[in-house]
Amino acid sequence: MHYLDLSFKSTKSFINEDFLLQNKISKILYHDYAKSMPIIDYHNHISPKIISDNKPFSSINSAWLDEDHYKWRVMRALGINENEITGDAPEKLKFKRWAQAVPYTVRNPLFHWTHLELKRYFNINTLLQPSTADKIFRQTNELISKMEPVEMLKKFNVKTLCTTDDPADDLEFHVKLSKNEKRLKVLPGFRPDNVLNICDENYIEYINKLGSIDDTKIDSYESLLNSLSNRINFFHTNGCRISDHGLESLYSEQYSMLEIDKIFKNRLSGTIPNSKEDLKFKSCVLFDLCEIYFKKGWTQQFHLGAIRNNNISLLKKLGSGVGCDSIGDFTQAKAMSDFFNNLNSKGLLTNTIVYNLNPAMNEVFATMVGNFSSSKVSMQFGTAWWYLDQKDGMEKQINTLSNLGVLSNFIGMLTDSRSFLSFPRHEYFRRIICNMIGQDIKDGLLPNDTAFFGKMIQNICYFNAEKFFKF
């Protein structure tokens, strides 16, 4: 390990009822208006199987550590052995390694999230560190063994959540939930990234899988598009009203359908496209999918700016989504403008959310969505995402949206998380925005009208999303 032991003298938690609320007005806005609002979590990576099975987690690790690449990155930075992070080391040892890491996360959002989650799920008012690890491990394991996932979601007033699902998914657990669970909506989200990634070494295998579940022979671009249309219809039948794409940037290369069909057939024969062909194919598939989304009345989401799977060694060992992705420095404006303009000029632009990962691009994104908003189409600059999902990142996104767009129309927060214990992130966001508005009122920058701003904050926390998605 790269560090010496570091521990707090006092183990009492700093999380209190006025956490992050720095003035009287902020406290009123949060406690009287924001706190009790329901949650629509319209993008996350939670497994629907966990909710459908509704069995208590086997351990705190399975709910909190095993899928959380945010925590993994920190532990790697501290030199903790990979086997004690993602390997087969004993669960207690893995937990203790995380406890060793936590004091080093001060001023990282993980420090706040960790203690918020311990407080909200387990009523633990103790800082997690080496001296408290054994006790907290016992406490959390004892309590979580009695917690059913559905009840955990209801505890946080979650009304609707949308998972992230591949077109080749059979949606087995969503079907079960729709029949058996009436207290909350768990809806699929259509995530076709694997379809666009034509250069991936396993692409042919994936296309065969897609064809198999659709009972379609996919041997041309036309048959691929037909299969995707069938899958979208299937998702729609099972409650899906939202798509999502994780892209470096939007794609707007010029192409002909003859070119696209040739590129696709060549790939099925084993020929990997060159970079120009790759962009043409992605541009075509993305546009054709968006046309279908428009016809179905779906909302489309674009998470833009990540450079993924940087560590090839860990990719080969653990797969993707394991904490080896970074902020990219891709250009965004021209392709985004061309892409949305092409859809809009053809009358095919549906409600859209764009999320930015590079903070240098906040103003670009905020001004771009304003170009295409209308009485028929709502364009949203999405909440601070991934590495920007922290106090500074949220404040910057909110300030940019306020300065260049319409904050009061904002559809608010989502978890975007693989950890089941992430729902206090909604509380985190609500405290931050209440504090920002309250501070502006205190500074004389806004009228001292708590009823007005309380209603605005309730809209941002819940009602705007309810109206926007109509789930």
pLDDT at position 174, please?
A: 97
pLDDT, tens only, 371-396: 999 999 999 999 999 999 999 999 99
Q: Residue 1: is its pLDDT beyond 70?
A: no
Structural domains of the chain, with CATH: 24-56+148-469 (3.20.20.140), 57-147 (1.10.2020.10)
| Contact present, 357 and 330 (Cβ < 8 Å) | no
Q: Are strands 185-187 and 242-247 parallel, antiparallel or unpaired?
A: unpaired
pLDDT, tens only, 117-142: 999 999 999 999 999 999 999 999 99
Q: Determine the Cα–Cα distance for residues 100 and 304; give it in Å rounded to an integer.
A: 34
- Per 3-state DSSP, the chain is made up of helix, strand and coil in percentages (nearest 5) of 55, 10, 40
pLDDT at position 180, please?
A: 86
- Please list, in sequence order, all residues whose beta carbon lies within 8 angstroms of the beta carbon of residue 178, skipping any fewer than 6 positions away: 238, 239
Q: Determine the Cα–Cα distance for residues 298 and 163; give it in Å rounded to an integer.
A: 15
Average per-residue pLDDT for the chain: 96
Counting residues of the chain whose pLDDT is more than 70, the rounded percentage is: 99
Q: Residue 414: is its pLDDT beyond 70?
A: yes
pLDDT, tens only, 43-72: 999 999 999 999 999 999 999 999 899 999
Tell me which residue has tokens 């799977």: 309
Q: pTM for this one?
A: 0.96
